[in-house]
Amino acid sequence: MSLGVKLNRKNQFFKKSAGLFSPVLHLYAVLLLSVLHLSAQCQTAKTKPIANSQRNVLFNKALGLDNGINISWLEQTWNAEALKHKPFGNEDFVLLKQLGFKSIRLPVAFEYYSSRHIPLKQVLARVDAVLSQCKHYGFKLIIDYHGGKINDNNYAAATTEAINNWLLICKHYKNENTGRLFYDIYNEPPHMDPQRWKDAAYNIITAIRKVDKERTLLVGASNFNSIYELSRTQRMADNNIIYTFHFYEPFFFTHQGAAWVGDQVSTTGVPFPYDGEKFPQLNPKAKGTWGEINYAQYQRDGNEQSVKDKLQIVKNWSNKYNVPILCAEYGVYNKYADVDSRCRYIKAVRKSLAELGIPGMLWDYNTNFSIFAGKPSLAHLSPCFKDALKYVIKTD
């Protein structure tokens, strides 16, 4: 989830310094990037199909991530105290276990900490603690590279920075169980040239494979892990990838009132599903924006069938290329949407994901998309949400 916080950070590389996110392998990464940029242009799915047994293992890994949840913490660049405080502990893992969750996605703003000269070991110490708890309580963990700066204008430098960071991260976790720890290589690439993003992803993946050849990687499409962009691309040549997407459709409902998004979502009080008697007037601020178009289309889009139809798009793509997919984020901003509508939406998404056999991860556990009415606890979870959490993929 990108919270839309705009950080005025310069693209730069820091001098070599023990313990910092310094580009120890900067020269290597630059050379690698220059070589791989051209080769990425011709990389398609033209590799021989992997054996069914290997493919089954990969699909089972994806299914094992179902009923997951995101922990918002180390991506909070707006929170200067984020590294100093741990917002969850053993009691939270116990609660998640009680509720049936099986996997955790941990977003980490590596480049933000790098730009503040914060030692990598200090950041990874926090990640290590989460990994240790995941092992103890039986959760699988995804380390998500959050808050990167890649765009059409800074492709070379920003991709190299991501490569440098991943080389260090991979070295640190190289010996961890490949069935329990996964890497989401880049959260929500922006609205940029799809081929340029695919080149960047190829370069990052190839660099990771120099250190860790066996780790299963999560890779999404541009335009913020869009299902539509993913459905228009080809799978990559690497045979150990789970393709990821984020699902907040209809955005007009899920992000209503979210200030970081802008005027297009300024209309609040939007119910789910659509109810003509409760449907609010369009906020004047939304006129002339995508919000005005989405307002007019909400009667069509604001229902469970529309949710499932959109998820079917990415399921069809998965079937076409015979590759596993993961919905790494779905949820509702909880400040303005009423609790019953939020619950009905979460239930609709989880039900649709389960019926289509797509594993999913809720955004998020403990902040402004949380399903809890207060501090996470069973007492703060409505019966409706408890019922919604029952929808999971049925496995033999």
- When pLDDT is cut at 50, 70 and 90, the band that residue 50 belongs to is low
Tell me the per-residue pLDDT of 334-356, one tens digit each, with 9 for 90 and over.
999 999 999 999 999 999 999 99
pLDDT of the residue at 63: 98
Distance, in Å, from the CA atom of 209 to the CA atom of 158, rounded to the nearest integer, reads: 19
Averaged over 313-322, what is the pLDDT? 98
Q: Which long-range contacts (CB under 8 A, 24 or more apart) does 380-386 make?
A: 381/99, 382/339, 382/343, 384/339, 384/340, 384/343, 384/344, 384/347, 385/343, 385/346
Token digits of residue 318: 């998965």
Predicted TM-score (pTM) of the model is: 0.89
Give residue 52's pLDDT. Answer: 81
Which residues, in sequence order, are CB contacts of 230 under 8 Å at separation 6+?
220, 221, 243, 245, 314, 317
Q: What percent of the chain is modeled with pLDDT above 90?
A: 83
Residue carrying the six token digits 């939304």: 286
User: If DSSP codes are grouped into helix, strand and coil, which group holds residue 21?
Assistant: coil
Confidence check: pLDDT of 10 > 70: no
Instruction: Specify the fold of 26-388.
Output: TIM Barrel (3.20.20)
Q: How far apart are CA 388 and CA 381, in angstroms?
A: 11
